[in-house]
Amino acid sequence: MREGFTTGACAAAATQAAARRALGLEPMAVESIVFPDGSRDHLSVLWTCPIAEGAEAAVCKDAGDDPDITNGSEIRVRLRWREDDRITFKAGDGVGTVTLPGLQIPAGQPAINPGPRHMMEVALRSLSQRGAELEVSIPGGVELAARTFNPRLGVRGGLSVLGSTGRVRPFSHAAIKATIKLALEVAWAAGYRKVALVPGHIGEKAARAHFELGPEQVVEVSNDWGFALETARDIGFEDFLLVGHPGKLAKLWMGHWDTHSSRSPSPVPPVLEMAQHLTRRSLADIPTVEGIFQAMDPGERTLLARILESRIQEAVEPLVGHPAIVALCTMDGRLWGAA
């Protein structure tokens, strides 16, 4: 299935196109941008136009074969030069603002995640060292956001600009399961008898940062934890390491082995109840597990992580019939507790 580009990658390409126009350089129909892994790819530019303080450009979101809600949307960036050399971000039409704690961006800031911000900064710096305000707009984003989890997460006024890798991998349940099975078989054939299972990029980053693991030893399972664990058990793996964000792995403790948000309930209520027993402060109205952890003192966070790790371990080990270690990580790859 065909891969696509995240909203953040489109914003980065639009940033580069706007900067090129604002600097008086020849506009290009295609912009080559740098992705977080150091690779480059090409995104088509819809249009550019000058404005009094800089320039504006647009890129059409191509999510490949993934049924992304923003596929086909216009991602616009309006660049306005600043007096200093800082790069700042602004939410334009259709882009939301964070209003609650617990997300990767503090409350009050435009809902433009760290990955896209970094890509946009790199795109601008490839052409100029001048400071700029980068305003991202997605026409129709307010209506689209109503069909997402953004209202529940405290993102108001539009969509979030997302993408930790810059690329969208198409979702196909059968294809994901086949890929998981193949990856486990490759790890077994490579001689490993211990396997590390992660939900995605964040978990893999943390696993490789904190544990000594071979190249084939880490297997991404997306949301199919029951399938992955049972398949790994049937292949013959004898030890299991699970690394991921508590917002995902806590669902295993709850008995939900398919962790997709449309097929399993939110882990926030049970984690919130557990956390409230460990702290004297009120944790009401926190919409995410990340926010619950951030609202606690460091010692309380560690204790909560250890309890959750123990509960998840108790749920996983009977399923696989072998020892399992659980390590819960933050959104930026640090460990919440000691596994």
d(CA 160, CA 248): 19
The first and second tokens of residue 101, run together, are 């704690």
Confidence band for 140, pLDDT divided at 50, 70 and 90: very high
Is pLDDT above 90 for 154? Answer: no
- Scored b (16 or more CB within 10 A) or e, 91-107 reads bbebbbbbbbbbbbbee
Q: Which of 157, 116, 140, 129 is nearest to 14 (CA)?
A: 116
For the chain, percent of residues with pLDDT exceeding 90:
75
Residue type, 304: L
Confidence band for 103, pLDDT divided at 50, 70 and 90: confident
pLDDT in tens, 193-220: 999 999 988 899 999 999 999 989 999 9
Domains parsed from the chain with CATH numbers? 4-168 (3.30.2110.10), 173-328 (no CATH)
Confidence band for 152, pLDDT divided at 50, 70 and 90: low
pLDDT at 177: 86
